[in-house]
């Protein structure tokens, strides 16, 4: 294993200190317990809080700031944050309008956020993101929350910034979740520092279709194919899931898992744009880059969100975070 670190045990704390210093104009870092919060709270605004295991950066800490999250709770690598982190963050950023938790659908995340919500002495609500269509709808643990989480956090963040109340922010988040589907493909596994070796083995001529973001294997292993065929397979599953009508406006998000260069991600975007446009869909908005990563995994996911005028306007609204920034 070759990684830039002194010790797996100190990786997260040192990284968080570096992140906070690099973006000191946007965020503050609190320790014992760890959470990142927005530099300046906006009185009377619904506070948005998310979090999860580290290793997915810039999700979630990179999305703290104007127009997105008010706080993010980072757990250890691929490990859920604890309820005390979530509670402390919520108490810090709540300004009287209540707290909305945005939670990826993993058992540990859901359980710990539920515990924090029960302990929190202010109005609160939760949106659970389950955009990964690699798993069937009736899967025992439900569908996982993956790259669509970025879309939810951006759109709901804009709604909260515009003054929507807690119930409206929750309803907006649930609408975005219902309009969003994602699926990922990996060419390599990832290496968790504390483990020291890849989480699964994959041959040089193979790919994993339907991977998670914690080093989980996909729903099937296949021989690597030309990019056009990979995109057609993944985008085809997404379209089958969402069943959009002809002429539907969409947001297309091509997300890298941490080890795929932008030249390949933009190639995939072009191929996905061609595929979706060829099926009568109007790609109105886009996001390309490494936003929901899996450490050093080579691979990508495609995410499609069905847009209407309101969702498009909220996506376009100004945002100022470490990882997303426009209109400010």
Which of 42-51, 73-82, 132-141, 234-243 is least confident? 132-141
pLDDT at 56 over 80: yes
Predicted TM-score (pTM) of the model is: 0.97
Cβ count near 91 (within 10 Å): 16
pLDDT at 11 over 90: yes
Q: Would you state the pLDDT for residue 78?
A: 97
Q: How far apart are CA 311 and CA 327, in angstroms?
A: 16
- Within 179-260, residue ranges assigned H as helices are 227-242
Q: Would you state the pLDDT for residue 138?
A: 81
| Residue located via tokens 């951006």 | 154
**88 band by pLDDT with thresholds 50, 70 and 90:** very high
Q: Which SS3 state, helix, strand or coil, does residue 291 take? A: coil
Q: How far apart are CA 184 and CA 161, in angstroms?
A: 31
Of all helices (H) and strands (E), which one includes residue 253? strand 249-256
Contacts of 123 (CB under 8 A, 6+ apart): 98, 99, 166
Contacts of 274 (CB under 8 A, 6+ apart): none
| Residue located via tokens 């909260």 | 160
**18 band by pLDDT with thresholds 50, 70 and 90:** very high
**303 band by pLDDT with thresholds 50, 70 and 90:** very high
Of all helices (H) and strands (E), which one includes residue 321? strand 319-321
Q: How far apart are CA 129 and CA 127, in angstroms?
A: 6
Least Cα distance to 178 among 209, 137, 138 occurs for: 137
pLDDT at 283 over 90: yes
Q: Would you state the pLDDT for residue 328?
A: 82
Catalogue all structural domains in the chain, each as residue range(s) with its CATH number: 14-179 (3.40.50.10440), 180-306 (3.30.1180.20)
* Residue range 23-41, pLDDT digits in tens: 999 999 999 999 999 998 8
Q: Are 69 and 48 in contact (CB under 8 A)?
A: yes
Q: Would you state the pLDDT for residue 137?
A: 83
* Residue range 156-172, pLDDT digits in tens: 999 999 999 999 999 99
* Residue range 108-119, pLDDT digits in tens: 999 999 999 999
Q: Average the pLDDT over 272-300 and give the result.
A: 98
Average per-residue pLDDT for the chain: 96
pLDDT at 140 over 80: no
Q: Would you state the pLDDT for residue 40?
A: 86
**327 band by pLDDT with thresholds 50, 70 and 90:** very high
Q: Average the pLDDT over 238-250 and give the result.
A: 97
Q: DSSP readout, 32-72?
A: TTTEEEESS--TTSPEEEEEEEESSTTTTGGGBEETSBSEE
**Pairing outcome for strands 206-209 and 180-186:** antiparallel
Q: Are 131 and 143 in contact (CB under 8 A)?
A: yes
DSSP structure class, residue 244: P
Share of the chain above pLDDT 90, in %: 95
Which residues are identified as catalytic? 56, 214
Instruction: For the chain, state the CA radius of gyration.
Output: 19
Burial readout 119-142 (b: 16 or more C-beta within 10 A, e: otherwise): ebeeebbbbbbbbbbbbeeeeeeb
Please give the backbone phi and psi of residue 306, each rounded to the nearest 5 degrees, phi first: -75, 130
Q: Would you state the pLDDT for residue 85?
A: 98
Q: How far apart are CA 150 and CA 259, in angstroms?
A: 19
Which of 52-56, 213-217, 252-256, 259-263 is least confident? 213-217
């Amino acid at each position: 294993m070759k990684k830039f670190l002194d010790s797996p045990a100190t990786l997260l704390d040192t990284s968080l200190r570096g992140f906070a210093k690099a973006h000191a104009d946007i965020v503050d870092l609190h320790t014992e317990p760890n959470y990142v919060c927005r530099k300046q709270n906006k009185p009377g605004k619904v506070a948005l809080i998310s979090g999860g295991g580290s290793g997915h950066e810039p999700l979630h800490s990179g999305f703290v700031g104007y127009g997105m999250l008010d706080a993010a709770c980072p757990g250890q690598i691929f490990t859920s944050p604890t309820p005390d982190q979530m509670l402390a963050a919520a108490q810090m950023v709540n300004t009287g309008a209540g707290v909305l938790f945005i939670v990826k659908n993993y058992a540990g995340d859901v359980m710990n956020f539920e515990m924090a919500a029960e302990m929190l002495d202010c109005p609160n609500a939760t949106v659970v993101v389950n955009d990964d269509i690699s798993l069937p709808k009736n899967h025992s643990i439900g569908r996982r929350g993956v790259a669509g989480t970025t879309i939810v956090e951006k759109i709901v963040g804009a709604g909260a910034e515009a003054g929507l109340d807690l119930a409206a922010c929750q309803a907006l988040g649930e609408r975005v979740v219902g309009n969003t589907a994602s699926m990922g493909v990996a060419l390599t596994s990832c290496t968790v520092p504390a483990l020291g070796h890849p989480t699964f083995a994959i041959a040089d001529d193979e790919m994993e279709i339907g991977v998670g973001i914690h080093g989980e294997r996909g729903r099937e292993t296949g021989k690597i194919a030309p990019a056009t065929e990979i995109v057609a397979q993944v985008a085809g599953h997404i379209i089958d899931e969402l069943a959009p009508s002809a002429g539907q406006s969409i947001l297309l998000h091509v997300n890298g898992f941490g080890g795929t260069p932008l030249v390949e991600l933009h190639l995939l975007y072009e191929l996905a744009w061609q595929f979706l446009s060829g099926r009568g869909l109007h790609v109105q908005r886009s996001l390309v880059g490494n936003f929901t990563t899996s450490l050093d995994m080579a691979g990508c996911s495609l995410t499609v969100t069905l847009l209407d005028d309101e969702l498009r306007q909220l996506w376009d609204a100004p945002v100022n975070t470490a990882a997303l920034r426009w209109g400010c």
